[in-house]
Chain A
Amino acid sequence: MDNVIRRRTPGARLARAVLYTVLILAVLFYLMPLVVMLFTSIKPLDEIRAGSLLAMPLDPTFAPWAKAWGEACTGMRCEGVSVYFFNSIAIVVPAVLISTTIGALNGYALTKWRFKGSELVFALMLFGCFIPFQVVLLPMAQTLGWLGLSSSRAGLVLVHVIFGIAFTTLFFRNFYVSVPSELVSAAKLDGAGFFRIFWRILLPVSAPIIVVSVIWQFTQIWNDFLFGVAFSAHDTQPVTVALNNLVNTSTGVKEYNVDMAAAMIAALPTLVVYVLAGKYFVRGLTAGSVKG
């Protein structure tokens, strides 16, 4: 828009100053928790007790990070969050790949091979984006039991794939709708088949939406807590569940610096993705939640 405060009158200059002040206050509000988390995670305990929340670390140490990674107690066990960090990776990677692949094929079939009722199918699947997951928890627990997948990483992968498909299908469907169909029609006339057209025509232009879908699914699944806590056991917990256990384990002295280091470790993967690919992250957020 072009309607900016630009005139150089004193009033305008004052308005400009107020504007920047508010924006910088907001920066402080959003950054403060991250800064405190980082500072606390590298302070020794006595410095935390004696000093102020925002005080710079005088004697930075990475010992809390090492402890959070390898030794801190999460419930009964004391082997840090590393095991659970790798659990999360082992759950996230297959779940993201499978749900994105299925979503891509679904979106393709729903847009380039329409059939009677394909819009209905889409609407039917879309509803899965909106349900509160509490409504599927109990039946899911029982079904995982029947499948022999209770408390297993494979079970969590399955759950995340099942409830991720609605989102990935939505992403790809809305993307492929805007890909011109002329080329597809021509290829069909030439006798090219379903998968061949997908492979040769759609897939080469899909890079942006694949990135959006992968980032969205990665963030959702990495940050999941509800499914993690409901369907995992001690040795299969994702890192969010372990973090919560670590913070709430009350044996001996409360080590705030270790808590914060563990929180940083749990937060880093999604933060890194956000910093590296923020544009796609935002696009996923708006596509995943605005589009009905």
Chain B
Amino acid sequence: MSTVTTSTRPVDAAPGRTAAARLQAWLPRLVLSPSIAISLFFVYGFMLWTFILSLTNSRMLPSYEFVGFAQYARLMENERWWVAATNLGIFGGLFVIICLGLGLLLAILLDQRIRQEGALRTIYLYPMALSFIVTGVVWKWLLNPGLGIQAMVRGWGFESFTFDWLIDPKMSVYTLVIAAVWQASGFVMALFLAGLRGIDDSIIKAAQLDGAGLPRIYWRVVIPCLRPVVFSAVMILSHIAIKSFDLVVALTGGGPGYSSDLPATFMYTHAFTRAQIGLGSASAMLMLGGVLAILIPYLYSELRSRKHG
């Protein structure tokens, strides 16, 4: 993690009287000011703006007729929102857990002096370079029952094999998990591998001298050392989950029906295609709340660990 302490001393330009010197002293602030202004307006201002919109009865166009928290109340009574929110729970939970498990497993295996380790790493990680749209398009093709994996396995002679999650409203959300795990698990592997390489060998040697077997060493010594990595990975993955939009659009289109909607697609649909700007804004604010709920504990523990060295 980044360290704040450096050797930089705030050397202010000599308190010269000339305009040029004064300009020099202010130049850093001047250079930063457009970015600060942008941040204040486009990030903080827009968050406030969306919050204000969420308190109005805006439909097609923004209006500023305030209705208090009525949009949030409507959201709470909206069945489609609950489907989206529940889906986020299922999708996010499975996505995070499977990515962590698979990432850790692959990292540990790769850490055993494997031949061609670099090539394997490259293969595991390349999906992360793709757009979620490409991932969605490919997996939609793989998962379509007519010509995809189902047809392939049936062609091998397993006539009754069924894998039609893409068109099954009860299972469609799990197709999102498959595609998202495919895309992001290699990245988690890379995080864990970096963590493993950073562990001090002497701890492990000591455990070996004590006669502990390899699985036991991993379970009792190595994995606990990786706790910070687990923490960051959970943060990043849940962030990806909450923001997931493109994958849903490309893979399931939110369907069948709205069975695989996520909050991000719910927000977009209501704000941009169903002329429900107020309701869409309320859902965006709840998404922000979700991100803050994972971000604040993370930052808190980061700052604390920094203080404790």
**What residues make up the interface of A, taking CB atoms closer than 8 Å to B?**
1-6, 19-20, 22-23, 26-27, 29-34, 36-37, 40, 48-49, 52-54, 102, 105-106, 109-116, 118-119, 121, 124-125, 127-128, 130-140, 142-143, 162-163, 165-166, 169, 173-174, 177-178, 180-182, 184-185, 188, 193-195, 219, 222-226, 229-230, 240, 243-244, 247-248, 256, 259-260, 263, 266-267, 270-271, 273-275, 278, 281-282, 285-286, 289-292
Contacts and interface: CB of A to CB of B under 8 A. Distances in A.
7 contacts: A19-B109, A34-B126, A132-B291, A134-B268, A135-B285, A263-B138, A285-B187
A78 to B, nearest CB: 19
**Chain B binding surface, main DSSP class:** helix
Interface in B250-309: 250, 253, 263-264, 267-268, 271-272, 277, 280-281, 283-285, 287-288, 290-291, 295, 298-299, 302
B43 A136 contact: yes
B46 A136 contact: yes
Nearest to A132: B287
Interface of B: 1-4, 6-13, 24, 27-29, 31-32, 34-36, 38-40, 42-43, 45-47, 49-50, 53, 62, 102, 105-106, 109-114, 120, 122-135, 137-142, 147-149, 151-152, 155, 182, 186-187, 190-191, 194, 196-197, 199, 201, 204-205, 208, 214, 217, 232, 236, 239, 242-243, 245-246, 249-250, 253, 263-264, 267-268, 271-272, 277, 280-281, 283-285, 287-288, 290-291, 295, 298-299, 302
B123 A165 contact: no
Contacts of A290: 1, 191, 232, 236
B9 A271 contact: no
B204 A29 contact: no
Contacts of A131: 43, 47, 288, 291
Given A27-B123, A134-B264, 18 more contacts: A1-B196, A33-B135, A34-B126, A36-B138, A48-B147, A53-B148, A53-B151, A133-B243, A134-B287, A135-B47, A137-B268, A139-B53, A174-B2, A193-B27, A225-B133, A260-B141, A263-B137, A286-B190
Contact of B182 (A33, A37, A138, A275): A33
